[in-house]
Amino acid sequence: MAAPDERPDTELIAAMRAGQAEAFAALTERHRAPLLRCIALLIGDASEAESLTQETLARALEHFDQFRPELNFPAWLRGIALNLARNHLRTRARHARPVPPQELGGAVADSGRGVLSQLVRDELHARLWLAVGLLPGPYREAFVLHYVDGLDYTTLSAVTGVSAGALRVRALRARSLLRDQLGNVVDTWVRGGA
């Protein structure tokens, strides 16, 4: 097994522009897992997220000449993924309905370390992700891209075309809605890296 390419993204991008296709493979290897997680959170479906991740990477390769240097590569990928996720959700909305918030129930916090406490933590984690999936689309996008993926509002603005101030309001409103449903555990969850 070959060692991962340790060159910074900027060097790999320069190599890619110079026609070295293996540089894109290194970029893909480095950024695939976080991209997959982001898409899964945006659409709420892990199996479909795999497909959309592949499509995102294929489109990135196909349109690499449109990459803007002022955006970092992961943010540019998120922009492509966000458009694909939005299209996927529009298509899915015609065929399925989300779970109503009242079916989520309340969240239980547990600080134990046993098997039962692990089950409770897993259940809490599942409820958190369900609640994120029920957020209105713009709120969910801002929450996931800022609090989960860690993108700053300026970068998010460049990716989405929405002002940084509006994105901040959306992310904070999403966090507030989650807190209303699940309590203060949301704040602990966000600080812990989701």
**40 and 118 assigned to the same domain:** no
Residue 107 shares a structural domain with residue 88: no
Q: How many other CB atoms sit within 10 Å of the CB of residue 177?
A: 20
Q: Which helix (DSSP H) or strand (DSSP E) does residue 17 occupy?
A: helix 9-17
Sequence length of the chain is: 194
Neighbours of 142 (CB within 10 A): 26
pLDDT value of position 30: 92
User: Which two structure tokens, joined as six digits, stand for 10?
Assistant: 């900027």
CATH number at residue 65: 1.10.1740.10
Q: How many domains does the chain have?
A: 2
Q: How far apart are CA 57 and CA 76, in angstroms?
A: 11
Is 143 in a helix, a strand, or coil? helix
Report the candidate in 129, 124, 131 with the shortest Cα–Cα distance to residue 178: 131
Are 134 and 176 a contacting pair, CB within 8 Å? Answer: no
60, 147: one domain = no
In tens digits, the chain (194 residues) has pLDDT values of: 567 778 898 899 999 888 888 899 999 999 999 999 899 888 888 889 999 999 999 999 999 988 887 778 999 999 999 999 999 988 877 765 555 544 444 433 334 455 555 666 667 767 777 888 888 989 999 998 898 888 899 999 988 889 999 999 999 999 999 888 888 877 777 766 55
The answer on 116 and 83 residing in a single domain is no
Decide which of 61, 96, 131 is a domain's last residue.
96
Instruction: Verify that 90 and 107 share a domain, yes or no.
Output: no
Considering the domain architecture, whether residues 92 and 8 belong to the same structural domain is answered as yes
Beta carbons of 73 and 13 less than 8 angstroms apart: yes
Q: Which residue has the tokens 């950024």?
A: 31
Residues 187, 126: one domain?
yes
**Kind and range of the H or E element at 52?**
helix 46-62
96, 111, 145 — which closes off a domain? 96
CATH number for position 154: 1.10.10.10
Measure the CA–CA gap between 194 and 192, rounded to whole angstroms.
6
Same domain, yes or no, for 24 and 108?
Answer: no
- What residue numbers bound the domain in which 83 lies? 1-96
